[in-house]
Amino acid sequence: MEHQLKVFNSLTRKKEDFIPINPPFAGMYVCGPTVYGDPHLGHARPAITFDIVYRYLLYLGYKVRYVRNITDVGHLENDADQGEDKIAQKARLEKLEPMEVAQFYTNRYHKYMDMLNVLNPSIEPHASGHILEQIEMVQKILDKGMAYESEGSVYFDVEKYNKSNNYGILSGRNVEEMIANTRELDGQSDKHNSFDFAIWKKASPSHIMRWNSPWSEGFPGWHLECSVMSAKYLGETFDIHGGGMDLLFPHHESEIAQSVAANGKQPVKYWLHNNMITINGQKMGKSLGNFITLEEFINGSHESLEQAYSPMTIRFFILQAHYRGTVDFSNSALQASGKAYERLMKAFARLEGIAVGESSNFDVAELEKDCHAAMDDDFNTPMVIARLFDAVKFINSVAEKQISMSIEQKTALQKIRKNFIDEILGIKQESQNETAGAGLDEELMKLIIELRLKMRQEKNFAMSDFIRDELKNTGIELKDTKEGTDWSKTN
């Protein structure tokens, strides 16, 4: 392969050559959504980030198995109401089966991922469908002496594990310091240490979702599902594990510990983490009043939004920043991205109709090389987009008949469009007249535009402007161009 993909490995904190364990196969596991609420911006970022990783690995010719889980088990509210499962609580409030709640939000998640042009994973396992495997893993860890049972729950013994291994290998945390900094606030805990984590949790009476196990009726600990399902579908050691930076500790750290304790080997070769999003410089949170669902984003209904933003605008915006940096959602930034997105798509659409002629001084091969180099360098999508705009400028200059383009240049640009815009970045055209493409609307608009053209030719500008203004009031915008008059719906 002519490419050498480099990825930033959180485990080593360095960019490393990506060399899969069993080429041409590549295995990737990404932490998916907890399906107890509507999908929001916080879901979009990791989904799009690892969609890019998936797409690029496919583009490079790897046979990729992409596993992204659905977490539908065991979520306690982080508010004061202890001991109730998030899904169970929702179910009780809405008088539904817990699985109905999980299914509803899973469907919602899929719908919005589809709108964002996020490809489906190869396997989408549910935590609830792998309870047996999780019980087996708990037993395995118990057998190795790295966990203890207490009051029907089973806890991972971090201190013991750390004697022979390194708990903190991923997050840089130091167990000795954690012990030193820990103060027992109350004696109620059935854990040996505050940083021990549950791998099996006994269900409280109000907890609806529960399964039988050798220890109690309960549910598996949070970290366990990812360890179990990744091992089941990708093997005990696999290539890439992705997720948001917020999951680095304790989730991923604990995943490593469990897997090493159970299987005696590091589960993951490359850990990739996307950075977080902020909204107007603040972390998104329900308590901060800036919690925006994808539905609200796309229809513009949230009060902090000045307008609706299309799914492709959101995707383009996210791709304009590197995945390891934070990205701040603000109206002005999104509006800028929306315009940039349209300019990019318009130019490449224009390319199709361009008449070829003499070659101009524009190196398409170098542009392509730069785009590849940017992707190879830890998925630098902002750089790819920047270079694509150089092509935009070239295409527009040719379209404006300032310079010309050869057939070779045109073909090469078409290839870049297909490879980079369509396949790798996954940016697609959102047609504005989708609902009006056929039928009565189109016919009527044609007639109105023709009438207005006649008036303009007769210099009856008062009437032609009246038509334009009135249409604008009803949400249809007319634009006079050299080729004639275009129309589009404004929202």
Partner RNA sequence: GGUCUCUUGGCCGAGUGGCUAGGCGCCGGUCUGCAAAACCGCUUACUCCGGUUCGAAUCCGGAAGAGACCUCCA
Residues 395-434 that bind RNA (CB under 7 A): 396-397, 399-400, 402
Does position 337 interact with RNA (CB under 7 A)? The reply is yes
With 0-12 / 13-18 / 19 or more C-beta atoms within 10 angstroms meaning exposed / middle / buried, residue 189 is middle
Does position 346 interact with RNA (CB under 7 A)? The reply is yes
Residue at 159: amino acid letter: E
Q: Rounded to the nearest whole angstrom, what is the least distance from the CB of residue 203 to RNA in the complex? A: 11
Task: Return the number of the residue (237 or 404) whose C-beta is nearest RNA.
Answer: 404
Backbone angle region of 209, left / alpha / beta, with phi > 0 → left and psi within -120 to 50 → alpha:
beta
Residue span 252-281 as binding mask against RNA, x where in contact by CB under 7 A, dash where not: ------------------------x-x--x
Does position 479 interact with RNA (CB under 7 A)? The reply is yes
Does position 22 interact with RNA (CB under 7 A)? The reply is no
Does position 125 interact with RNA (CB under 7 A)? The reply is no
Of 98, 99, 121, the closest CA to residue 110 belongs to 121
Q: Which SS3 state, helix, strand or coil, does residue 247 take?
A: helix
Q: Rounded to the nearest whole angstrom, what is the least distance from the CB of residue 127 to RNA in the complex? A: 7
| Residues 272, 241 contacting (CB under 8 angstroms) | yes
Rounded alpha-carbon distances, angstroms, from residue 414 to 210, 343, 368 = 55, 16, 11
Q: Which residues fall within 8 angstroms of residue 316, CB to CB, at 6 or more apart?
A: 337, 338, 340, 341, 344, 385, 427
Does position 76 interact with RNA (CB under 7 A)? The reply is yes
Q: Which residues between 25 and 64 bind RNA (CB under 7 A)?
A: 34
Contact with RNA (CB under 7 A) among 11, 99, 175, 333: 333
Alpha carbon distance 377, 374 (integer Å)? 5
Residue range at the interface with RNA (CB under 7 A); choices 93-101, 306-314, 317-325, 408-416: 317-325
Task: Return the number of the residue (14 or 428) whose C-beta is nearest RNA.
Answer: 14
In DSSP notation, 44-85 reads HHHHHHHHHHHHHHHHTT-EEEEEE-BB-S--B-SSS-TT-B
Q: Which SS3 state, helix, strand or coil, does residue 4 take?
A: coil
Task: Return the number of the residue (54 or 317) whose C-beta is nearest RNA.
Answer: 317
Does position 332 interact with RNA (CB under 7 A)? The reply is yes
Q: Which residues between 366 and 395 bind RNA (CB under 7 A)?
A: 377, 380, 382-383, 385-386, 389-390, 392-393
Residue range at the interface with RNA (CB under 7 A); choices 107-115, 204-212, 359-367, 463-471: 463-471
Q: Rounded to the nearest whole angstrom, what is the least distance from the CB of residue 197 to RNA in the complex? A: 6
Task: Return the number of the residue (113 or 127) whose C-beta is nearest RNA.
Answer: 127
